[in-house]
Amino acid sequence: MKVYLDNAATTPLAPEVLEAMLPYLNEKFGNASSLHEWGREAREAIENARAIIAQKLNCEVSEIIFTSGGTEANNMAIKGIAFANRDKGNHIITQKTEHPCVLNACKWLEQRGFEVTYLNVDEHGMIRLEDLEAAMRKDTILVSIMHANNEIGTVQPIKEIARICNERGVYFHTDACQSFTKEALDVKRFELDLVTINAHKIHGPKGVGALVVREGTRIDPLLHGGGHEFGLRSGTENVAGIVGFGKAVEIAKPEHVLHMRKLRDLLIKRVLNEIERVKLNGHPNKRLCNNANFTFYDVDGESLVLRLDARGIATSTSSACASHKPEPSHVLLAIGLKPEEARSSLRLTLSRYNTKEEIEYAIEVLKEEVANLRRIAK
């Protein structure tokens, strides 16, 4: 049996998405900036996808800026706000468990004269709102806190964070790549200034994402050229990818979330009950519907990934962006795990396509392989 449980890294392309994309990879090949029929056809497809995504997020169509993915959108939000608002201040606040593209963008800005506060998190990966309030300064221009963590699944209280920021006139950006279509995300009601989303975490294509930029936000573009995407992201649009993104959003349903949550709960319950010396990482309740992250004491995480892979099960030890690095996960260290505990951890992330039979098979194999590795380690 083949069981794919690494959906936080990427998801399989939905058949409906592929079908929607194919015409724009073949006969509907026009450049969306061209005035002729082929160009108008491409433009109409882009704007239809933009409208679908805007409706899902409850934001204006003109606030959706398509990008090459989450990394570009996060960089655009952080660097674009920093340089556009340097006359107001040079202080940025984020947290220690952010995705590497956020942390590295902040480190890059520090080398250029900006100051960054990296908030600690508790043992579940949650920031403390009082810590955020205490970190605020007169020269704070941006807070960037991800909606849900890509490794441990902890969901942050972004509505409350946005309120704190709005009361102080500070821009708030959230990376919602993991949470989009899985958690409530309402740009207008939550008063969010900037939101990063992408397609390949929700059964859409790789290489396309978006940054929501609330109207009136002062932000500089990263890319300069022909002034595409309302002047904020120059470059010929990835028409097929954008069409696929829109379709992925259109077919995402609440029942998919319920299905994933049910399987996640089964996985967590059985692993904790049937395997000794194991710990669940992340928040026990406020976590993504598809995320389970465990520490298996006295087990090497990478060895476990490889053994599971040999038996047809795809998992990971950390973020896909950091999986080839020798250092233990910065997220797991931030929640208080020791380096050896972080190296003994495993992330299993589900999708709408997983079945109960697959999860039960994965659990049985996991039990066997954890026991095998512990015997070897003795």
Query: Which sequence positions are flagged as catalytic?
Result: 321
Q: Is 304 in contact with 171 (CB distance < 8 Å)?
A: no
CA distance 56 to 324: 35
Give 249's contacts (C-beta < 8 A, 6+ positions apart).
52, 53, 56, 181, 202, 204
Q: Is 294 in contact with 276 (CB distance < 8 Å)?
A: no
Give residue for tokens 């002729």.
36
CA distance 299 to 315: 15
Give 291's strand partners. Answer: 349
Which burial class, exposed, middle or buried, applies to 321 when counting CB atoms under 10 A from its CB (0-12, 13-18, 19+)? Answer: middle
Q: How many CB atoms lie within 10 A of CB 123?
A: 12
Give 279's strand partners. Answer: 295
CA distance 222 to 109: 14
The residue among 234, 199, 88, 73 whose CA lies nearest residue 144 is 73
